[in-house]
Structure 1
Amino acid sequence: MPSIDLSRYEKKKAAKPSNKEGEGGLIALFNKDISFGGKELNDKKKEAFYLELSSLLLAGINLKSSLELITSDQEKAADQVLFKTIQDSIIKGGALSDALQGTNKFSLYEVYSLQIGEETGKLTEVLQDLARFYQNKIKQRRKIVSAVTYPCVVMSTSLGAVFFMLKFVVPMFGDVFKRFGGHLPWITEKIIAISQVLENNFWRVFILILLLSAFIFSARNTERFRQLSSRLILKIPVVGNLVQKIYLARFCNSMRLLINARIPLLRAISLSKQMIGYYPVESTLQKVEEDIMQGKSLHQSLQQFSIYPSKLIQLIKVGEETNQLDYFFARVSEQYIEEVEYRTSTLSSMMEPLIIIFLGLIVGVILISMYLPLFQMSNSFQ
């Protein structure tokens, strides 16, 4: 295997700052395919590019001709310009990794993986690994989104119906009851009071929500906000454990990809830290780098952090002892992905009837509270 000059990579890292895929919290959990004005190419396009390029190279087509075919196949003008830029760089004698880095549309871990693939003669294998990585990432995200879509739609529709009743229907009944006078049932008085609070403070609450949303949007990238939000989410029952496993699966998958590309362990950890973008994992990897430089093994450094389960630590220990870290990272990643998919589907199946029952009870209480005075009045007339 040819020797690899890591000092070259350090210089390039300084010249091209990393671009994180996303921040912690629920926004990062879904990690959308479409990036509105985002710097990097979205995951779906990356997967298609790596898959098609690896297939063409395996078919015996040279890199220049493969890029010509990929460029001509692009439907959007912006994508054609991007891949034409990459193609022109290759024609001038540049390496594929340098061409991708020059566009600022690909992350450092992709660039380094391709550099190692080019130097070791395993470019096609690295391209296939990158394609599988994004394929699994997109597949996982789609399953999570499909699992939570129906409960979210039901919840939003039902809350909209409750809001409509409290804002418009209940005040109408309240005016009617005032005209008749008399003593209203306790539950009716409470529902009317809630409706009046909503009506009197609607715009205040609306403006408060807008200000809170603006604050979260502006502070979402600060270290303090990311630390607090991730800590809060991890404490939520069921959801916290699910989020933890999603990012641990992503961490293991990225480590598998980088180690399989023969990137040194320290560099793989550094790139994974930039790639994950999840504070509880990202913050620990800085300490892990320092520990490894001082002679500690990877599993010894990871076991001091609670975010990493003991089972993961033991498997990494076995991987270090047998020199098969990439294999064990792959196994753990697959296991976590399967567990996440099972839990999201189970959670979705449990949430649907619970949401319907809960919101049905709320609507039922509102209706009963509005009709109770009518029943009382009808009994008094008899």
Structure 2
Amino acid sequence: MAVLVFKDSRKETLFSELSSLLASGLDFSRSFSLLTEGEEKGRIKEMLKSIHCSVVKGNALWQALEENGGFSPLDRGVVRIGEETGRLSEALVFLAEYYRKRIARRRMISSAVSYPLVVLGTAVIVLVFMILVVVPMFEQVYTRMGGELPAMTRGMIALSRSFPYWLGGVTAVAGGGALFFRYFGKRPEVQSAVSAFLLRLPLVGGLIRQNCEARFCSLLWLLNSSGVPLLRSIGLLEGIISFYPYRKSFTSIAQELGRGTLFSTALSLFPRLYDRKLVMLLRVGEETNRLGDMLSRQGEELSQRLEHGLKQAGNLLEPILVLGVGALVAAVLIAMYLPMFRLGTTIY
């Protein structure tokens, strides 16, 4: 039987409702029963019943979530900490807040890149149609007319003839790349090479870095405010932020913290991942015993900068794509109509 993985929106609702029921004074068994009764979808209802039965048999909630397999390491880790510290309701509030912010950030990114992607997709379809359908129609007309064609027109016709081979080659390369990443994409050397390439891209690299830093600060603040020790919080981040350089850095940071190194000093070992300003401010937070406040402030600031950067990127890409599409379409049309313009001039 396939494992049913909860969507982020469903997790937010589940953790929020369960925390509210527990905060109202109901015991866990009664709260989970009410939660199960209110579920309308059959598969989710059966899964909730399975989790409840596992807890009734004597397992902890985090163990029941682990047996189910549909919850992330963050879900299980935070719930475990909440149960061990007697603050399960607060842990559930943390998870609900985390998924709420994650959904909001995903919507923000989607709204910023959706229009440029639509323009790009439309442009590709239009250009492929013109090169494969329109250009051959003009070629047949000019073949019947005879005469020498302008160099631009001859080049466009040559491109139209060879375009199916180019399209097949691109499709084969894309398919081969997809298969390669499917079978070898999880290897450390592959992830390292891909992430290094992405971080070097002029615009994309900066946005990826800001996104990871914003998530890093926000998650650490939420974990800190829930009473999770810093060393354990770093360990939980390994299962949440999946971008390879950051995930690898968490292991080294945890080792440095275990040796007694300051948190900010451990971060400074990775200058390409963590901004100097962030490291400096977190050092101030450590020295003044206000690390949680500094993480919260930096998380909000980095999120705002990320949102602004995404909007700027979207605003920049829109006119570039529109102008690029217009230029390419104009080049095809000019190449096809140029012989007619010359013919008209000759007749005149």
How would you bin the TM-score normalised by the shorter chain? over 0.9
Q: How does 1:25-64 map to 2 (within 5 A)?
A: 40-64=5-29
- Structure-1 separation of matches of 2:340 and 2:181: 46
Aligned residue type for 1:285: F
Residues 156, 93 of structure 1: alpha-carbon distance in 2 compared, 3 angstrom cutoff: same
Aligned to 2:326: 360
| Whole-Å separation in 1 of the counterparts to 2:334 and 2:303 | 46
Which position in structure 2 is the counterpart of 1:141?
106
Equivalent-residue separation in structure 1 for 2:215 and 2:24 (angstroms): 30
User: Matched residues in 2 for 1:328 and 1:121: separation?
Assistant: 26
For 2:260, what is the secondary structure of its paired residue?
Answer: coil
1:189-233 Cα shifts (integer Å, max 9, x gaps): 221222122034443433333222222332221212211111111
**Cα distance in 2 for residues equivalent to 1:205 and 1:347:** 27
Q: Contact 2:3/2:70 (CA < 8 Å) preserved in 1?
A: no
> CA shift at 1:40, angstroms?
4.3
Q: Give CA deviations for 1:165-190 in whole Å, capped at 9, x if unaligned.
A: 01111122122223323222222122
Instruction: Specify which of 213, 216, 223 is matched with residue 248 of structure 1.
Output: 213
Verify: 1:341 aligned to 2:307, yes or no: yes
Partner amino acid for 1:348?
Answer: G
The match for 2:262 is 297
1:82 partner amino acid: M
Identify the residue that residue 123 of structure 1 maps to in structure 2. 88
- After TM superposition, give the deviation of residue 147 of structure 1 in Å: 1.5
Q: How far apart, in 1, do the equivalents of 2:21 and 2:88 lie?
A: 12
Structure 1 distance, partners of 2:143, 2:11, is 64
1:98-247 equivalences under 5 Å are 98-247=63-212
Residues 1:201 and 1:281: Cα distance change in structure 2 (over 3 Å) = closer
Aligned to 2:289, which of 315, 319, 323? Answer: 323
C-alpha distance in structure 1 between counterparts of 2:170 and 2:217, whole Å? 43
Of 37, 42, 47, 1:82 maps to 47
SS at the partner of 2:269? coil
Cα gap change, 1:50 to 1:364, in 2 (>3 Å): same
Q: CA 1:325/1:161 → structure 2, altered by over 3 Å: closer, same or farther?
A: same
Stretches of structure 1 lacking an aligned partner (at least 5 in a row): 1-36
CA distance in 2, matches of 1:60, 1:361: 66
Q: 1:77: Cα distance to partner?
A: 1.9
CA contact (8 A) 1:147 1:344 kept: yes
Q: Distance in 1 between matches of 2:128 and 2:209?
A: 34
Counterpart secondary structure, 1:183: coil
Q: For the Cα contact (< 8 Å) 1:249–1:336, is it kept in 2?
A: yes
Deviation at 1:261, TM superposition (A): 2.8
Alpha carbons 1:116, 1:261 under 8 Å: kept:
no
Task: Tell me the distance in 2 between the aligned counterparts of 1:89 and 1:206.
Answer: 49
Q: The residue matched to 1:275 in structure 2 has which SS? A: coil
CA contact (8 A) 2:120 2:321 kept: yes
Matches within 5 A, 1:238-277: 238-277=203-242
Q: Give the Å deviation of 1:50.
A: 0.8
Q: For the Cα contact (< 8 Å) 1:269–1:289, is it kept in 2? A: yes
Matched residue type, 2:321: I
- What is the TM-score normalised by the length of structure 1? 0.85
Aligned residues: 346
Residue type at the aligned position of 2:232? R
Looking at both structures, which has the greater relative contact order when contacts are Cα pairs under 8 Å and sequence separation is at least 6? 1
Counterpart AA for 2:120: M
Distance 1:206 1:125 in 2: 50
For structure 1, which segment, 161-170 or 262-271, has the greater mean C-alpha deviation from structure 2 after superposition?
262-271
| C-alpha contact (below 8 Å) 2:3/2:69 kept by paired residues | no
